[in-house]
Amino acid sequence: MAGTNKPTTSTFSQEANIKPASPFKAIFPLVAIVVVAIVAHVAFYQGFGAPENFEDGIAAKAAYDAWVDAGSDPASEAPHWTAGHPTNTFGLIYKGGFVIPISMTLGLTLFVFVIERGVTIARASGKGNTDVFVKTIRMKLAQGKIEEAAALCDKQKGSVGNVIKAGLRKYKEMEATSDLEKDAKKTAIQAELEEATMLELPMLERNLPIIATIASLGTLVGLIGTVLGMIRAFSALGEGGAPNAAELSVGISEALINTAMGITISALSILFYNFFTTKIDGMTYAMDEAGYSVVQTFDVNN
């Protein structure tokens, strides 16, 4: 039955070109993390810690420059522009302490890998709607139009299209094979579909563990900053005489800023991780659904 649909020029005449894996993909996570860590530290100390973000910061910066030009006398204390109260949000974040650039590194890393995963998964989804594509493939298979189904896979591209194209290629190969039982042929087609799916999944799931790790580390790093801030606050309360209000406020600010950043980063990480895993599960289900149709079509037509 299926033999009547064979065109003169087969869609399966050319094997898929297998591109060698790029070595940059293996080192990309490390390079990205190092780069964002540098950016975070520069932004924290040069941007958030700029003199204009603090009371009398510009005057203190001028005094510091004069102190340096005078030879940095060790007998005198170096003036610093970040000692004053913050005048804006940037200065307030700077008061969060040295844990903040670590949290910023986690946040920027999350941003980079959300973009990277978003682009990759969007490309893996193919050019058209996946649900419509799977329904069309099932319709073509029900009509016995295997070549047209393969042409649709070439047009759709993406992971689902690649898997179905691999199954259809094995379908045609089993049709031309006469030395195997029908059940063995069906098993071979099913194995080909499973193997193609397993080859696609690592690409879809790559770098997702980094996002999951950030979800945990964000909270822990924020907790470390919170504890350090509370230590500073209670140290101010424990000083003899009247509590140092400035030290007390700095400690509480450090604690709250780190808490807020840690919770925000963790919440966003969990949100995007679940979003990406849901998209991947949807594509995997589409692969299984269309693959089942390929096997069932072979069973009916042969």
State how far the Cα of 292 lies from the Cα of 165, in Å rounded to an integer.
Answer: 13
CA distances from 25 to 19, 30, 33, 114, 147 (A): 13, 10, 13, 15, 34
Cα 95 from Cα 78, distance rounded (Å): 19
Give the DSSP letter of residue 22: P
Q: Domain-by-domain residue ranges, the chain?
A: 2-9+99-301
With 60 as the cut, is the pLDDT of residue 14 above it? no
Range of lowest pLDDT (9-23, 41-55, 286-300): 9-23
Which stretches does DSSP call E strand in the chain? none
Q: Predicted confidence band at 147 (pLDDT cuts at 50, 70, 90)?
A: confident
Q: Cβ(163)–Cβ(293) under 8 Å? A: no
Q: What is the pLDDT of residue 2?
A: 42
**Angle at the Cα of 282 from the Cα atoms of 280 and 283, rounded to 5 degrees:** 65
* Residues 107 and 265 sit within 8 Å (Cβ to Cβ): yes
Question: Angle, to 10 degrees, between the axis of helix 99-124 and the axis of helix 208-238?
Answer: 160
Q: Which of 17-26, 86-95, 102-111, 165-174 has the highest mean pLDDT?
A: 102-111
Residue 1 reports pLDDT greater than 50: no
Please provide the average confidence, as pLDDT, over all residues in the chain.
83
What average pLDDT does this structure show over 114-142? 88
> Tell me, what's the pLDDT at 221?
94
Q: Which amino acid is at 286?
A: A
| Average pLDDT score over residue span 237-249 | 64
Spell out the residues 6+ positions from residue 34 whose beta carbon is closer than 8 angstroms to its own.
none
User: In angstroms, rounded to a whole number, what is the distance separating the alpha carbons of residues 111 and 211?
Assistant: 10
Task: Give yes or no for a contact between 43 and 104, defined as CB atoms under 8 angstroms apart.
Answer: yes
Higher pLDDT, 206 or 77: 206
Token pair in block for residue 225: 């900053």
Distance set, CA 99 to CA 36, 38, 93, 102, 225 (Å): 15, 14, 11, 5, 6
Which tens digits make up the pLDDT trace of 254-294?
788 889 999 999 999 999 999 999 999 988 998 888 888 88
51 DSSP assignment: G
Q: Assess whether pLDDT exceeds 90 at residue 16.
A: no
Can you give the pLDDT at residue 244? Answer: 61
Number of H helices, E strands in the chain: 10, 0
Closest CA to 78 of 69, 89, 86: 69
What value, to the nearest 5°, has the Cα angle with vertex 270 and ends 265 and 271? Answer: 100
Q: What is the pLDDT confidence band of residue 37, given thresholds at 50, 70 and 90?
A: very high
